[in-house]
Each structure stands twice: as C-alpha cells, then as structure tokens.
Amino acid sequence: MAGPSPLPPFAAIVVAAGKGLRVGGSTPKQFRAWHGKPLIRHSVEALEAAGANPLMVVVAQDAQDHVEQALTGIEGLTFVTGGVTRQDSVRCGLEALASASPERVLIHDAARPDLPHAVVDRLLTALDGHAGAIPVLPVVDSLAIASGSVMAGKAERETLRRVQTPQAFRFVDILAAHRAWIDATDAGDDAQVFMASSGSVALVDGDERLKKITFAEDFVNTAPLPAFRIGQGFDVHRLEPGEELWLGGVLIPHDKGLAGHSDADVALHAITDAVLGAVGEGDIGTHFPPSDPQWRGARSGRFLEHAVSLARGAGYVVANVDLTLICEEPKIGPHRPAMRTEVARLMGLAENAVSIKATTTEKLGFTGRGEGIAAQAIVCVTLANEGTSTWPTG
C-alpha cells in the first residue's frame, strides 16, 4: 500500500521550554524517557518525518545539556531560547523563523509525543481556506460548572471541544498576532492569541493519540509494548419486523431488521469489541452504555471509529480484521463488497485487510430459525511504528 501523500511545505516549532513540574523529579518531563525515547524526541521525529523545514525547538536557557542528549543525531534542527511564559517562548520561535518567511507554520507542544501524520495533513489542508486551524476532540463526559466545591450549573458539552496541538497558521498572521498580544497573562494556546487579533480558526479532527503527557502516572508502564496483540468480539441481535437491517455499516433491504438500542449493527459491534479487547479497553457497553439515551438509534460506525482511536492512543494500529456473520437470511454474498468497503473506511484500512465471511447453522438454534443474527470478529493490532503493507496511511 502506498505511504502517506506528500504535504505542502511548512515550518514547525516544538515548544519545550517549560519546567514540567507536575510529573515530579528534577528533570523536565520533555527530556524524560517515554516508550524508549526522550519525550521531546517523539514530536521532533514525527514533524521531521512529515517534512517540516525549518524545524525549530524552543528550550529553556539552562536546558542545553538535556537537549543535546535527547536529540542527538537529528540533523538540521534550529534551537531558540524561550521566554518566561509559553506565549513568550512561541514568539521567540516565530521571530527566529521570520527570516525564512515560511508560508505555513505548525506550533506543537513537546508534551504531546504521539503525532499522527493524518492530523498534520488535516491541519495543512485546512489552511487552504483559513488562516488558522487546530485539532479538536469532542467532550464525551457530562460537565459541571463549579463554585468552590459545589456544582453551580451545567455546561453544554455539545458546544465544547478538547483542544490539542500542533496548531497551524499562516505564518505572517500568527506572527502579527503574537506581536500584537498585550495581555499581561500567559495565553492558554496560540489559537487564543490568534483570535484576540480577530483571526478565524478552523476546527479539524484531532486524535486520541495526541494525549498530553502531564502527570507522573503518564510515565508508568512505558516499557516496550508487544509487537502485536489479538482481540476477539462476539455479538447477537434479534430480528424483528419493522426494524432497519444494518450490517457492516450497510443498510440491507429485508423484511426484518435487527433490534437494539443503537442501529443494532451486529457486525460492527463484534468488530468494535474485538478492537477494544485487543488493547484492553473493555467492551462496547463500557464506552456506549445502552442506558444512555444519547446512543439511541446511533450509527455503530461511531463506536468502531472510537475503538480504533483508542487503539491508536495505546500505540497500536489495526493490521487486519476477520469477521464471520452467522445467519440463514439475508444472503450476505451480494452485500459483501459494500460491507467490506465500509468497514475498511471506518477503520482506515485497505480493503485487503478486511475479511467478511458468512455461514449458517444448518437450521439449528436461534440463527437457524431466523430469529436473529450473530457475528464473530478477530482483530490484530500492531505497533504503530512497525511497517506493514496493509496499515492505514495516517
């Protein structure tokens, strides 16, 4: 399978001048080991692989020894001494880039080490129509407004997003915004600086892999991960008149459909459980409980995409999936190509990494009597930094 497509030219700044005190110890967190490498090295290598040029690292004045050890062997980096606040440090990096006059710049925190190529692609694409773009994730938990230790109100999660880095901007616009920043307090991120100067910021899909390393427990269990893991999933739903029949993300004409709290897509439910099982993340009911009314009638593709995202957050990508559907009717063969295409799309896979089979129970049991459909799935996930021809490109 072909590798990631080339990205438009861009510069990048990795901000690594903070103290990182919340993780404890005397070494700033960006220089501590995470999955076998200094935390900062992961971000720098990801941006270098994506084609960042120039690639600038902003560090504290007293961190030279740490930087040399953490980034040894990486050529072509430029180092800049940061300021008192994060905003000061970013401006130092932008000012140092001014002579290169890049058209686009990505500003990234060293504390977010696992940067997918696909997020960089989405950000740079968004700059074709906007002067700024940031990666975001939905808020899935209920939110409360606090007044001291007492709940004072409810926040509407539908209007809120979790913001990640890198954040992408047209270089001249973000430099002007930082130069115009007059607030005495430190900006939370560069998007806030940009919006203060009336800049428009587009939102693109982030990734759970971009989790910020913040606390000491984030460094626990960072020994090398197994090269691959296997998960299996099994699900059953009953057939009822008047219901739609969704299988593998495809609406299939039939006189009966599957009953359930969501769209009852037994195929996607089994695959979702297999992905979750492969990375030790429980089952579909843990993440999308049927007692929660927001999932009533929901498309099961959302569940599968969430599971794949959690796998990426654990450092794995899906290598292949093998699904078996067990039913007397409908006949699966005519719908197999469409189902295979949709499952591959939802999981970010090539179609040759998706196998969909069907069998019967020779008229035995509830499936043999046409009372329901069962599905069994097996999924293999592999470390994201190990090459394979059937992996996704992002």
The per-residue pLDDT for range 31-45, each reduced to its tens digit, is 888 877 888 999 999
**Structure-token match 């690594």, residue found:** 16
Average pLDDT of the residues in 375-391 = 70
| Closest-CA residue to 306 (of 279, 326, 332, 327) | 279
Domains in the chain: ranges and CATH: 11-219 (3.90.550.10), 228-383 (3.30.1330.50)
Give the mean pLDDT of the chain.
Answer: 87
Residue 142 pLDDT level (bands cut at 50, 70, 90): confident
Amino acid at 27: T
Tell me the C-alpha to C-alpha distance, in Å, between residue 81 and each of 58, 62, 74, 158. 6, 9, 18, 40
Asked if pLDDT for residue 23 goes beyond 70, the answer is no
Provide the pLDDT for residue 25. Answer: 52
User: Burial level of 88, CB count in 10 A (0-12/13-18/19+)?
Assistant: middle
Among 2-6, 259-263, 317-321, which is the least confidently predicted range? 2-6
Asked if pLDDT for residue 56 goes beyond 90, the answer is yes
Among 21-35, 102-116, 342-356, 379-393, which is the least confidently predicted range? 379-393
166 cis-preceded (ω within 30 degrees of 0) = yes
Edge-first strand order for the sheet with 228-241 is 256-258, 228-241, 372-383, 316-326, 354-359
Provide the pLDDT for residue 394. Answer: 32
Backbone angles phi, psi at 192, to 5 degrees: -65, -40
Provide the pLDDT for residue 218. Answer: 67
Q: Taking a C-beta distance cutoff of 8 angstroms, is the pair 357, 325 a contact?
A: yes
| Total residue count of the chain as it appears in this document | 394
Asked if pLDDT for residue 196 goes beyond 80, the answer is yes
Average pLDDT of the residues in 299-305 = 92
Provide the pLDDT for residue 387. Answer: 38
Q: Which DSSP state fits 247?
A: E
Amino acid at 187: A
